[in-house]
Amino acid sequence: MRTPILAGNWKMYKTVGEAVELVEGLLAGLEHGAAGREVVVCPPFTALYPLSALLAETPIALGAQDMYPEVQGAFTGAISPVMLKDVGCRYVIIGHSERRQLFGETDESVNRKLKAALAHGLKPIMCVGESKPQRDSGQAEPVVVGQVRAGLEGLTAEQMQSLVIAYEPIWAIGTGDTATPADAQAMHAAIRATLVELYGSEVAEGLRLQYGGSVKPDNIDELMAQPDIDGALVGGAALKADSFLRIVKFQ
Ligand code: PGA
């Protein structure tokens, strides 16, 4: 059984005060626990430390949105996996399409970051997803499967147990244009088939695949009803307590 994992990617939103307010709202809504679901929030770096104290011993885990794949050194502006562990992060998003498009992230840098995150006990959420032109030209599946293969290069079956993969079609992110549950399911099945090929069925069946891209309270239930969708990576709808709580409490 795969425990559903609902993660909020807050992107570059929320000051410390706003982040604390949002988390207080989420904790109030989850006072009876998260009923067999794993809940993660990924605020900006500046809010990690204050939130880690608030989230200790609660059903919500803390995650970061990116990291640099070195322990320490002369890397101005970068944050290391050791630093993320130090402030209480359990998860880290790696290779989000905004990082790939705006910050030059590649499959190779994603692979280095995955290895560094895992080496320091962080659980990576690796993001993959095709662009609109790639989907329109029938290339969505080979593009996504290629990203999965390249990103996972050299990772062991044991390391895969700490990994989550998020399928986020770029054209669905922040657009209100969600993939249909059937299209999302088809891609998730293709990703899982690739994992079977790479690591065998036991590892592949245990690994959680999130869908991301305009996940909202009104589409989460049908997405989560798909057999290979094990969670969601949520942007805009994770910025308000009531909408993220509704997503966490999908039926
Ligand atoms: P969205 O973002 O839910 O606002 O579409 C998802 C993401 O980028 O992770």
Query: What is the reported pTM?
Result: 0.97
Q: d(Cα 26, Cα 37) in Å, to the nearest integer?
A: 14
Q: Does residue 213's CB lie within 6 angstroms of at least one atom of ligand 1?
A: yes
- Mean pLDDT to the nearest integer, 222-240: 98
Which alpha helices (H) appear in 96-249, and where do they start and end? 97-102, 107-119, 132-136, 140-151, 157-160, 181-199, 201-206, 220-224, 241-248
If you average pLDDT over residues 25-37, what whole number do you get?
92
Q: How many whole angstroms separate alpha carbon 74 and alpha carbon 80?
A: 11
Instruction: From the candidates 38, 96, 120, 188, give the one annotated as an active-site residue.
Output: 96
Strand partners, 123: 91
Place of tokens 């320091």: 120
In this model, does residue 48 exceed pLDDT 90?
yes
Which numeric CATH code is attached to 5-248? Answer: 3.20.20.70
Beta bridge partners of 22: none
C-beta of residue 80 within 8 angstroms of C-beta of residue 71: yes
Tell me, yes or no, if 168 is annotated catalytic. Answer: yes
Tokens of 234: 């949520």
Of 98, 105, 130, 168, the catalytic one is 168
Q: State whether the beta carbon of 215 lies less than 6 angstroms from ligand 1.
A: yes
Is the C-beta atom of 129 inside 6 A of ligand 1? Answer: no
Closest approach atom of ligand 1 to CA 215: 3
Q: What is the pLDDT of residues 7-21, one digit of tens each?
A: 999 999 999 999 999
Residue 72: the pLDDT is: 98
Q: What is the pLDDT of residue 176?
A: 85
